Structure 1
Amino acid sequence: MRKALLRAAVLAVLVGTMPAPMPAVAAEDCAAIAARAAAAWRAKSVVPGLAGIDAATAACVQKTLVLDLEFDLGRAVGYKVGLTGKAMQERLGVDHPIAGVLLPRMLLDPGTSVPAGYAARPLVEADLIAVIGDAGVNEAKTPAEMLAHLSALRPFIELADLALPPDEKPTAASITAVNVGARLGVLGDPIAIDPGMADRLATMTVSLTDGSGKVLVEAPGTSILGHPLNAVIWLARDLALRGETLRPGQLVSLGAFGPPAQPVPGGTVTVRYDGLSAAPVALSVRFE
């Protein structure tokens, strides 16, 4: 009880003192929605009533929600980029990605077993993490330029949560409000950067397979905004509009290569990146 009261008091101060620009919404509206979202996150339940939320309110809710979750999950270590596929953008009527925030205790080591019911609406996605090397990422305009300012890539299986009711049509704003579904993810070992990797990122094939070897999802590198590193370029520009920058050491989840899969109790899912490196690159997760 004392921890909950302390969290509420700190959040009230932070929400009241956030620097401009802030969304033009009543602070209590944003705070109330964020409190509902945080309670739902902890209870592994959906957040109803967000279908009509506007972009400004959604941004405020996400920021307040992340501040709340940091009490349990640690300070932010990076970002995730969502809506990076053309089909999903068209479905939601937008022409751009959206961004959420990654917290350290969301990230799991290889070999970690995860409950199949880890979330309200669990989704397993083939993803990839870019590790920011230096501040030059904020000025990069092409994938090749961006690659020069990264310190590594890391295999990533995102274990997302579409924490919205199945009977409510999702929108870009409602997904933004629930932190773009950030929940968990299995993070693989770093892959060293080499000069030819920019081309290979575009031409590689990324797949998700189950324990029997059945292919669940298969997509080209270009399925993310025409090139996976375009996700980092977009994110840097989006952060600049908010007066923020990407910093060395931060992690950026680039988005889903193809549609998500569903976790199966007792099952295993493996992501493979064929054509990315000379040696095979793969990462697995087992569901309890």
Structure 2
Amino acid sequence: MTKTRTLVPLALSVAFATNAGAACLSDAQAADLVANYLSRQPAANPEGLSDADGACTRAKVNALLAPRLGKVVGYKAGLTNPAVQKRFGTDKPVWGKLYEGMVLQSGASVEAAFGARPLYEADMLVRVKSAAINQARTPLEVLEAIDQVIPFVELPDLMVQAPPKLNGAGVAAINVGARLGVAGAPLPVPVLRAERYALLDALRDMKVTLTDASGAALGGGKGSDILEHPLNAVVWLAQALAQEGLAMQPGELISLGSFSPLLPPKPGLAVTATYDGLPGAQPVRLQFK
């Protein structure tokens, strides 16, 4: 623990220039959060945070995670589904960072206890092609700045002792629970404009379903459950990152949010995510052990 905490003053001297005045968690509290994340033990709940407090704490947490987890490979937009927002008592999305090694490939076998408070959900990734994505204001402009759409089952970790007590700022503070995820085969974004419009419609209208090994439904939703169109999550993210002097970079992966409820894994459970109505989309499969 002592070693972890000594990272804080050096790593955070720049990170908080834009967050001065926010009453976020102390350096020691942030170090405790990270220590618990790394040991997969439930951490104390961050209590009573404002949005500014959540952003300030997230910056502290990420400054401590970076030396341990390595390169940032993208971002996740969270709470982009109104049903999930309601669960956490908020009306707006939040974001976190994705690190190297978090994205596994379809067919992966994952420990059911992969985190302190492990969950799974149907999600989707996109891969950034152009820095123009940071100026995108419509789903079409997002589509023109990405080169892949990737079916994805996210494996978030809410990591605190009492997840139901988290508010939106608390979810932001824990880096939106970023832990792991399982990616399927990528779909290339078509070149022809008419085909791009068809893809936009398919992403909005697709039906996403999670099933077990017997084919029984575990949960699901439709594309428009995420901010009326899943690519609107990227529009929101671009503006949120810009407020903190950050930007998406070519090659990064962006997680769009949940099409399904957050569900608890259990050993022996096999999960398949299907994307009906999205031409060419292959199922994503994983097994909990």
TM over 0.5: yes
1:145, CA displacement in angstroms? Answer: 1.7
1:263 corresponding residue in structure 2: 265
Q: Which secondary structure state, in structure 2, belongs to the residue aligned with residue 123 of structure 1? A: coil
Please say if 1:21 is aligned against 2:22: no
Deviates more, 1:161-170 or 1:37-46: 161-170
Query: Aligned equivalents of 1:31 and 1:280: distance in 2?
Result: 44
Query: Aligned equivalents of 1:192 and 1:63: distance in 2?
Result: 33
Query: Aligned equivalents of 1:96 and 1:64: distance in 2?
Result: 22
Please say if 1:205 is aligned against 2:202: no
1:285 corresponding residue in structure 2: 286
Matched letter for residue 281 of structure 1: Q
User: Would the aligned equivalents of 2:30 and 2:61 in 1 still touch at CA under 8 Å?
Assistant: yes
Matched letter for residue 229 of structure 2: H
Change (3 A) 1:112 1:141: same
1:123 corresponding residue in structure 2: 119
Match of 1:252 among 254, 272, 276: 254
1:16, CA displacement in angstroms? Answer: 2.2
1:58, CA displacement in angstroms? Answer: 2.0
Query: Aligned equivalents of 2:163 and 2:253: distance in 1?
Result: 33
Runs of 4+ in 1 over 6 A off after TM superposition: none
Match of 1:193 among 189, 193, 213: 189
Query: Aligned equivalents of 1:197 and 1:97: distance in 2?
Result: 24
RMSD: 1.9
Q: Which secondary structure state, in structure 2, belongs to the residue aligned with residue 17 of structure 1? A: coil
Match of 1:148 among 132, 144, 151: 144
Please say if 1:59 is aligned against 2:55: yes
Matched letter for residue 16 of structure 1: S
Query: Aligned equivalents of 1:99 and 1:38: distance in 2?
Result: 17
* Identical-pair percentage: 39
User: Would the aligned equivalents of 2:134 and 2:239 in 1 still touch at CA under 8 Å?
Assistant: yes
1:87 corresponding residue in structure 2: 83
Instruction: Render the CA deviation track for 1:47-85: whole Å, top value 9, x for unaligned.
Output: 224131232222122122122222232121111111111
Deviates more, 1:227-236 or 1:62-71: 62-71
Q: Which secondary structure state, in structure 1, belongs to the residue aligned with residue 229 of structure 2? A: coil
Deviates more, 1:202-211 or 1:182-191: 182-191
User: Would the aligned equivalents of 2:51 and 2:169 in 1 still touch at CA under 8 Å?
Assistant: yes
Match of 2:235 among 200, 211, 233: 233
Query: Aligned equivalents of 2:274 and 2:86: distance in 1?
Result: 27
Change (3 A) 1:12 1:193: same
1:169, CA displacement in angstroms? Answer: 1.4
Q: Which secondary structure state, in structure 1, belongs to the residue aligned with residue 251 of structure 2? A: coil
Instruction: Render the CA deviation track for 1:7-50: whole Å, top value 9, x for unaligned.
Output: 544432121233631241478x4312210111110121222241
1:200, CA displacement in angstroms? Answer: 0.5
Query: Aligned equivalents of 1:19 and 1:163: distance in 2?
Result: 24
Deviates more, 1:188-197 or 1:122-131: 188-197
5+ residue gaps, structure 2: 191-195
1:119, CA displacement in angstroms? Answer: 1.1
Query: Aligned equivalents of 2:16 and 2:161: distance in 1?
Result: 32
User: Would the aligned equivalents of 2:122 and 2:152 in 1 still touch at CA under 8 Å?
Assistant: yes
Query: Aligned equivalents of 1:94 and 1:150: distance in 2?
Result: 29
Query: Aligned equivalents of 2:124 and 2:284: distance in 1?
Result: 11
2:224 corresponding residue in structure 1: 222
Match of 2:38 among 31, 42, 48: 42
Instruction: Render the CA deviation track for 1:205-231: whole Å, top value 9, x for unaligned.
Output: 111111111111121100111000000
Instruction: Render the CA deviation track for 1:167-202: whole Å, top value 9, x for unaligned.
Output: 761101111111111111112232111212111100
User: Would the aligned equivalents of 1:23 and 1:56 in 2 still touch at CA under 8 Å?
Assistant: no
Deviates more, 1:215-224 or 1:157-166: 157-166
Aligned pair count reads 283
Please say if 1:275 is aligned against 2:277: yes
2:193 corresponding residue in structure 1: none
Query: Aligned equivalents of 1:23 and 1:38: distance in 2?
Result: 21
Deviates more, 1:141-150 or 1:85-94: 85-94
User: Would the aligned equivalents of 1:38 and 1:69 in 2 still touch at CA under 8 Å?
Assistant: yes
After TM superposition, the score normalised by the length of structure 2 is 0.91
